[in-house]
Structure 1
Amino acid sequence: MSLGTIGFIGAGKIAQTITKGLLAANAVAAERIVASDPASHNLKVLSDLGTQTATNNEQLLQIADTIFLATKPNIVGRVLKEISPHIKKDHLVISLAAGITLDYLQNSLPDETRVIRAMPNTPSIIMEGATIFSVGRNVQEGDGKMFQSLISQLGICLEGDETLIDAAMSVSGCGPAYAYVAIDALADGGVKMGLPRDVAIKLSAQALLGSSKMVLTGGKHPSQLKDEVCSPAGTTIDAIHELEKGGFRRCLIEAVEAACLKARRLNAMQLYDKK
C-alpha cells in the first residue's frame, strides 16, 4: 500500500510547511506532489520546489491518490461540495482543517470515502513537528500506519481518539505561537537589563529549545525540572514568584481553552451552514 501522488487542495502556509518538510526529509520526491490554489503566488512557492501544479481541483483529483485538504475551515464545506463528484474510492482524503469533524467530512463526501483528520504544526518544516490524527470509519487496514509513517519523518505523529484533536490542536498546533511570544518577551526582558537584541533572542530561543529537549528525553516531569533550577533563596524562585503573580500559568491554560473552544465553534458553524 502506498500514498502514491500527494495532492494539496490549498497551497498556503500549511501545505508549504508539510511540502518543505517532506522534501527536506527526503520522504517524497517533488514530482510526486501536486497542488491547486486560486492564488498563483502560493502555487509558485511550491512549483519553485519542483512540485506539480493543477489549474483546478478536478484536475488535481485526476492526478493525486492522497488528497490533503489544506484550506481554511470556513471554506471546507464549499470545497467538499466541489470535489465530491470527482472523489474515487481509491482516494485517501486527509483533512488539516481546524474544527472540522470526521462525521462532517464523511457525510459531505461519497459513501465509503477513506478519510483521516490530522492536526500538524509549523515546526514540521524543520522536522520538529507535532501531529495528532484520527482515522474515519471507512479507512482500509494500513491507511493510518501509512500516514503515520510519512508524517513521523516531520517530528512526532500520534494517533488518538477524535475527541482529543481540538484540545491537541490548542496545545501543539497553536503552541508555537505561544512559544514565540515567550521568546520575544524574554528577549525584551534581556534588552531591558542591558543585553543586545540579537544576543537576547538567541539566548531566549536556546533556553526554550534546551528545556523542551530535557522534557522529551530526560523522563522527568516539567515541575521537577523547574524545581531543579530554583535554588533556595536564589534568583529563579524570585522570578517564578513574579510569573505566578502575573498569572503566567493561568494565561497559558486560558489560551489553550480559548483555542479549543474556537475550534469547536468552527465545526458548529459548518453544521449550521449545511442545513
Structure 2
Amino acid sequence: MTKELTIAFIGGGNMASALAAGLIGKRCGAHDVHVIDVNAPALERWAAQGTTVSQTPDDTLARRRVWIFAVKPQVLKEAVMQCRPFLQEDTLVVSIAAGISADTLSGWLGRDGEPFTRIVRCMPNTPALIGNGASGLLALSGVSQDDKMVVNQFMKAVGDVVWVDTDSQIDAVTALSGSGPAYVFLFLEALIQGGIKQGLSDDQARTLALATLTGATQLAALSHENLQTLRERVTSKGGTTAAALDVLQGQHFPEIVQQAMQAAYQRAAELSSEFDK
C-alpha cells in the first residue's frame, strides 16, 4: 500500500478536492485518481487535472486500492451499494460522511453476514479546505498499521490528525472540532459587533478580531505554558481583562460552551441512529 497509492473519490466536492490537492503530485499522480460524481461540470474540473472520471461506478473502482466516500450522509448507503460490486479484499475504504457509524458502513459493504472491516471513518472539519483542518480517525479491525499510515499521511496533508477508538469518540470529535469552527465564527461575530458598538469601523473591528484570534491560538500552540497561565498573564488584577472575564465567568461562559458541545454530541449520536436504520 505504501508503494502504490491509487485512489477513488466517490463524491468530488470541496472536501475531496482539498484532499486531492494534498495528494496529487506529492503522494500519487493525477492518473492514479478516479472520481465518481453525478455532477458533470465537477467532473470536467477533475478531468482537467488529469484524473479519470465517471458519473457512475465502473470497473475502474476495482483497480483503486483506496476508496474515499465523500458524499452527503443521506446518499451514502445508495453510493455504497452501487460501488460494492467492485469491492476487493484489499480495498481500503475511508468514509468522511458525517453521522454514519463505521459498523453500519461495515455491514453495508459486507456479504453473506460477514462485515467488511477494512474501513476508516474520518471526521474532518471545514478548515481542511485551506490545509488547516483537524480530523478524528477511527479504524476497524481489518485496517493494518500500513493502512493507518497511508490514511494518516493523506489526512495530515489537510491538517492535524487524532486517532480514536470508538464511534462515540468520533461523536465527541464532531462536537469539538467538527462543529467547532461554527462556535469560533460566532465568537468572532460577537467580537466584531462589540468593536463596532464601541466606535471602531467594520474593517477595523474585523481586522483586530481575526488577528487576535489567530495570534492567541498560535501563541497557545507554540507556548510551553498551559492555557490557564497564558490567560493569567493577560489578566492584571483590577484591570480591563479582569473586568471582561468577570462578566464571562458570571454568565458561566465555560459551562455554556460545554453544554453546546454536549448538545452537538447528543445530536451526532441521534443522527447516527437515524442513518443506521
| TM-score > 0.5, shorter chain as reference | yes
Q: Secondary structure at the match of 2:71?
A: coil
Identity among equivalent positions (%) equals 30
Deviates more, 1:51-60 or 1:191-200: 51-60
In the other structure, the counterpart of 2:139 is 135
Q: Secondary structure at the match of 2:157?
A: helix
In the other structure, the counterpart of 1:242 is 247
**Structure 1 unaligned residues grouped into runs of 5+:** none
Q: How does 1:50-129 map to 2 (within 5 A)?
A: 50-58=50-58, 61-110=61-110, 111=114, 112-129=116-133
1:9-67 per-position Cα deviation (integer Å, ceiling 9, x unaligned): 112232233234445x9444444333222233443454455543222123552453211
Matched, 1:192 2:193: no
Deviates more, 1:50-59 or 1:224-233: 50-59
Q: 2:26, 2:252 → 1: CA distance?
A: 43
Which residue, 226, 230, 240 being the options, matches 1:221?
226
Which residue, 160, 171, 177 being the options, matches 2:176?
171
Q: Rate the CA distance shift 1:45–1:194 in 2: closer, same or farther, 3 A.
A: farther
In the other structure, the counterpart of 1:33 is 33
Deviates more, 1:145-154 or 1:12-21: 12-21
Q: Rate the CA distance shift 1:152–1:78 in 2: closer, same or farther, 3 A.
A: same
Aligned-partner residue type, residue 101 of structure 1: S
Q: CA deviation at 1:172?
A: 0.9
Q: 1:175, 1:54 → 2: CA distance?
A: 34
Mapped contact 1:35–1:60 kept (Cα < 8 A): no
**Structure 2 unaligned residues grouped into runs of 5+:** none
1:111-139 per-position Cα deviation (integer Å, ceiling 9, x unaligned): 44511111112222332221121111212
Q: State the Cα RMSD in Å.
A: 2.3
In the other structure, the counterpart of 1:262 is 267
Which residue, 214, 236, 241 being the options, matches 1:209?
214
So what's the TM-score if we normalise by structure 1? 0.88
Q: CA deviation at 1:92?
A: 0.8
So what's the TM-score if we normalise by structure 2? 0.87
1:83-135 per-position Cα deviation (integer Å, ceiling 9, x unaligned): 22221112110011122222111111134451111111222233222112111
Q: 2:107, 2:141 → 1: CA distance?
A: 11
Deviates more, 1:47-56 or 1:227-236: 47-56
Deviates more, 1:240-249 or 1:121-130: 240-249
